């Protein structure tokens, strides 16, 4: 099975119909991850099959849940984005969302900038900074295995716009972390995900600021 067929079939199982350009951009992004990984340690994965399942399809699994929670335009901050996961995939599938991939490691932010340039993604940028030192306002703040929920919320709560939501990608439901959340956030939904080709638990922890 070709990578393009695997990607399209996996996306279809997630309820997504990829356009030709979207499919090409996603495959080009996967190829860039593998290319840069030879020189820079962007991710621990080194083979195309793992990049397809653990990165591309894993990130595509959030697109439909994100559409349900936030169907309109907005700004998204992807904290500790690393190689741009899931931020780059969101930018490819959601042209109406402006995505900032934030990482404290300069080479990882530079990689995302390179991806934005090579793939022509005008709604994507890589930013080298620490989340605690950032200013701005975002309707959506995401993370993928970045830190504990408490650290994620504490570091980014000043950046969440009124009515905005946090989207934390996790493995199994992190009940202990949820129990230790600071008062700045409350969980309103834990959404189980099923990623094609990935035999592992996945979920999204959706959070927002408590009503005053």
- For residues 164 and 141, the answer to whether their CB atoms sit within 8 Å is yes
Which of 43-57, 73-87, 92-106, 140-154 bottoms out in mean pLDDT, i.e. has the lowest?
Answer: 43-57
Residue count of the chain, please give it: 212
Q: What is the pLDDT of residue 212?
A: 72
**Mean per-residue pLDDT, 43-66:** 87
pLDDT tens readout for residues 156-177: 999 999 999 999 999 999 999 9
* Domain span at 55: 3-208
Is the confidence at residue 150, as pLDDT, over 80?
A: yes
Q: What is the pLDDT of residue 74?
A: 97
Q: What is the mean pLDDT of the chain?
A: 94
Is the confidence at residue 44, as pLDDT, over 90?
A: no
- For residues 175 and 205, the answer to whether their CB atoms sit within 8 Å is no
Instruction: Tell me whether strands 74-79 and 97-103 are parallel, antiparallel or unpaired.
Output: parallel
**Mean per-residue pLDDT, 117-141:** 97
User: Bridge partners of 125?
Assistant: 100
Structurally, how many domains does the chain consist of?
1
> CA torsion 170→131→158→151, rounded to 10°?
40
CATH of the domain at 116: 3.40.50.150
Is the confidence at residue 45, as pLDDT, over 70?
A: no
Q: What is the pLDDT of residue 81?
A: 94
Q: What is the pLDDT of residue 42?
A: 76
Which of 30-34, 88-92, 206-210 bottoms out in mean pLDDT, i.e. has the lowest?
Answer: 30-34
């Amino acid at each position: 099975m070709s990578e393009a067929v695997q990607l399209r079939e996996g996306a279809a199982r997630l309820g997504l119909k990829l356009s030709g350009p979207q499919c090409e951009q996603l495959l080009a992004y996967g190829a860039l991850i593998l290319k840069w990984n030879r020189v820079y340690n962007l991710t621990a994965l080194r083979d195309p099959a793992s990049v397809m399942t653990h990165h591309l399809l894993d990130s595509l699994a959030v697109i439909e849940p994100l559409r349900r929670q936030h169907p309109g335009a907005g700004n998204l901050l992807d904290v500790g984005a690393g190689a741009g996961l899931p931020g780059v995939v969101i930018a490819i599938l959601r042209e109406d969302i402006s995505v900032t991939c934030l990482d404290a490691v300069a080479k990882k932010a530079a990689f995302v900038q390179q991806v934005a340039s090579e793939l022509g993604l005008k709604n994507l940028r890589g930013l080298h900074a620490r989340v605690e030192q950032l200013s701005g306002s975002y309707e959506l703040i995401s993370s993928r295995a970045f830190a504990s929920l408490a650290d994620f919320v504490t570091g980014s709560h000043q950046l969440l716009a009124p009515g905005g939501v946090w989207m934390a990608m996790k493995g199994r439901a992190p009940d202990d972390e949820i129990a230790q959340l600071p008062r700045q956030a409350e969980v309103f939904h834990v959404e189980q995900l099923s990623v094609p080709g990935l035999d592992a638990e996945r979920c999204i922890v959706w959070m927002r600021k408590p009503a005053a």
